[in-house]
Amino acid sequence: MAKSYAEINEKIKKGTAVVLTAEEVAELSRTLSPKEIAQKVDVVTTGTFGAMCSSGAFINFGHANPPIRMEKIELNGVRVSGGLAAVDTYIGATDCNPERPAYGGAHIIEDLINGKDILLEAWGKGTDCYPRKHIKTVINKDTVNEAILYNPRNAYQNYNVATNTTDQLKYTYMGTLLPRMRNASYSTAGELSPLINDPECRTIGLGTRIFLGGTEGYVTWNGTQFHSTKEVNEYGIPTSNARTIAVIGDLKNMSSEYLRAAYYEKYGISLFVGIGIPIPILDEDLARRVSIRNEQIETTIVDYGNGNQILGKTNYAALHSGEIEIKGQKVRTAPVSSLAKAREIAAMLKKRIAGGHFQLTEPVRPMPTNTGLKSLLETKPEN
């Protein structure tokens, strides 16, 4: 029998909802059928904590006296966007000062969360209504009006395994790849991963309430590079990077336990983001989807050293074992995301829902279907 959001939320309110993490329901699926799980379980919680470069924060500084229309803005010496309104900016996670490449936008965001002072310096041309041309002052999360985390592309639905067949070290966003396939890295939480547990995004859409960076947040749109037509395996799971989500939340209420800056040697800066999404078990189909196990989740092995050639496929049970086989060679594996944090997020979200402190929201707009990706074509500009 199908359930509704209202019925599940009423159970949450009364404290009678049955809530399991995705790992727990995956284990349960070894002994129970999807039909039995649908009857027994109301909500399944997911979690992920990994580097998500397409992240950032909107900040409103407030107006000085006399006022300035900020056109060039630096925070702790890092250039950030001056293309918004007079005293607004967007801090991109990967923004950096080339002279100090190991500190950038993600670090500023983490510093703001932790209540640290940030040096603001801004310049403008001066206008009749904004006569000031320069300001240098200190800000923190208590002095700014708004600090809003807005990430255009997060929580990739699956991702490639990276390795390197060349004779040289390769420095990538998937970590440092040793020569001649001496290691391979991956970055998905497997059976805990949010979009893998609802691969067609039946319950994830505009308005979905989520755990984001230690507080509540929302899905605002499909993420950029949203690809809904990737190849899927026999269990309906895309075998490479596919769907994504755009998310929003109040940065002032977040914690650096779940939003943390990182620097990848000779690559650059990124932001580790903690996301947890509750999946309501509305019917047997969703029960079947959340029952997915690591050995059933395949992904593609890609040679990041040699033109992104595809070298084969593997699954997350093999990746978690610490070793996979590529072209007959045993290769050590290591994650560049944190499974421990993903488990922590899923467990925390489970506790909040079971305790009646987190209601589910039904999406007001579904995710798009039949989408693909366009490549950037190099064309000669017209004279």
Task: Tell me the pLDDT tens digit for each residue of 46-104.
Answer: 999 999 999 999 999 999 999 999 999 999 999 999 999 999 999 999 999 999 999 99
**Domain range annotation of the chain:** 5-52+150-354, 62-144
Q: Which two tokens stand for residue 332?
A: 């050590």
Neighbours of 75 (CB within 10 A): 25
Query: Which pLDDT does position 295 carry in this prediction?
Result: 98
Is residue 129 part of the annotated active site? The answer reads: yes
Query: Which pLDDT does position 230 carry in this prediction?
Result: 96
Query: Which pLDDT does position 60 carry in this prediction?
Result: 98
Query: Which pLDDT does position 364 carry in this prediction?
Result: 98
The answer to whether residues 318 and 312 touch, using CB atoms and an 8 Å cutoff, is no
Task: Tell me the pLDDT tens digit for each residue of 228-250.
Answer: 999 999 999 999 999 999 999 99
The answer to whether residues 149 and 136 touch, using CB atoms and an 8 Å cutoff, is no
Is the pLDDT at 297 greater than 90, yes or no? yes
Query: Which pLDDT does position 93 carry in this prediction?
Result: 98
Alpha-carbon span 315 to 293, nearest angstrom: 10
Query: Which pLDDT does position 381 carry in this prediction?
Result: 84
Q: Give mean pLDDT, residues 181-205.
A: 98
Q: Give mean pLDDT, residues 17-41.
A: 98
Query: Which pLDDT does position 53 carry in this prediction?
Result: 97
What's the gap between Cα 233 and its chain centre?
Answer: 23
**Band of pLDDT at residue 193, cut at 50, 70 and 90:** very high
What is the residue whose two structure tokens read 């919680």? 45
The answer to whether residues 71 and 225 touch, using CB atoms and an 8 Å cutoff, is no
Alpha-carbon span 29 to 194, nearest angstrom: 18
Cβ-in-10-Å burial (0-12, 13-18, 19+) of 150 comes to middle
Is the pLDDT at 192 greater than 90, yes or no? yes
Q: Which two tokens stand for residue 358?
A: 């987190």
Task: Give Cα separations from 188 to 112, 265, 317, 337 (angstroms).
Answer: 27, 21, 12, 7
Neighbours of 34 (CB within 10 A): 18
Question: What does the H/E/C string look like for the chain?
Answer: CCCCHHHHHHHHHHCCCCEEEHHHHHHHCCCCCHHHHHHHCCEEECCEEEECCCCEEEEECCCCCCCECCCEEEECCEEECCCCCCCEEEEECCCEECCEEEEEHHHHHHHHHCCCCEEEEEECCCCCCCCECEEEEEECCCCCCEEEEEEEEECCCCCCEEECCCCCCEEECCEEECHHHCCEEECCCHHHCHHHHCCCCCCCCECCEEEECCEEEEEEEECCCCCCCCCECCCCCECCCCCCEEEEEEHHHCCCCCEEEEEECCCEEEEEEEEECEEECCCHHHHHHHCCCHHHCEEEEEECCCCCEEEEEEEHHHHHHCEEEECCEEEEEEECCCHHHHHHHHHHHHHHHHCCCCCCCCCCECCCCCCCCCCCCCCCCCC
Q: Which of 53, 96, 129, 201 is catalytic?
A: 129
Task: Give Cα separations from 19 to 11, 22, 262 (angstroms).
Answer: 10, 10, 33
Query: Which pLDDT does position 11 carry in this prediction?
Result: 98
Q: Which two tokens stand for residue 214?
A: 């230690």
**Band of pLDDT at residue 382, cut at 50, 70 and 90:** confident
Q: Which amino acid is at 300?
A: T
Task: Give Cα separations from 35 to 3, 278, 286, 287, 380 (angstroms).
Answer: 13, 19, 10, 7, 58
Q: Give mean pLDDT, residues 155-179.
A: 97
Is the pLDDT at 188 greater than 80, yes or no? yes
Mean pLDDT, the chain, integer: 97
**Band of pLDDT at residue 39, cut at 50, 70 and 90:** very high
Task: Tell me the pLDDT tens digit for each residue of 298-324.
Answer: 999 999 999 999 999 999 999 999 999
Is the pLDDT at 1 greater than 80, yes or no? no
Task: Tell me the pLDDT tens digit for each residue of 94-135.
Answer: 999 999 999 999 999 999 999 999 999 999 999 999 999 999
Query: Which pLDDT does position 195 carry in this prediction?
Result: 98
